[in-house]
Amino acid sequence: MIRGYCIGGGLGLAVCCDLRICSDNSRFGIPAAKLGLGYSYSGIKRLVDVVGPAFAKEIFFTARQFDAEEARVMGLVNRVVPGAELENYVKSYAETIANNAPLTVKAAKFIVKEALKDESKRDLARCAELVEQCFTSNDYTEGRRAFMEKRPPAFTGT
């Protein structure tokens, strides 16, 4: 959840998160070029992984601040919501994720990360193992049963 300014190190922290939701009055930027600062490979790589090389260059080269809508267009944030609704929206979004099958969320998170790696460095065996864990889990049985019974599932992560 991002409310207001997300500048420099705050933006560096934000790109470490899986999802980013901000208020419509949020402002973003990395002023390193205005301060003569260098950023490490890992910090720039995380930004490139989120927004791509063209937007990462723009963010670093211009050192300008940009608004929430620009951040959404860049892919830096997933959603922009009115400031007064931000906290409730984020809480509801987190509850939606928390109510889903934990093994499925875990597998998807890992596989997305692997997909971003060079093909020779991907752990496809671990990807397949995580998918198999989903299909052999109690949660898979519960998910199908809940679907057939037209009720919300009660996942346990097992």
* Burial class of residue 88 (count of CB atoms within 10 Å of its CB; 0-12, 13-18, 19+): exposed
Query: What pLDDT, on a 0 to 100 scale, did the predictor assign at position 138?
Result: 96
Query: What pLDDT, on a 0 to 100 scale, did the predictor assign at position 106?
Result: 97
Query: What pLDDT, on a 0 to 100 scale, did the predictor assign at position 132?
Result: 97
Q: What global pTM score does this model have?
A: 0.89
DSSP type of residue 2:
B
Instruction: Please compute the mean of the pLDDT values over residues 42-64 and round it to a whole number.
Output: 96
Q: Please give the domain boundaries of the chain with CATH numbers for all domains.
A: 5-95 (3.90.226.10), 100-148 (no CATH)
Question: What are the angstrom distances between the C-alpha of 2 and each of 68, 70, 108, 119?
Answer: 10, 14, 24, 33
Give Cβ neighbours of residue 129 (< 8 Å, ≥ 6 apart).
none
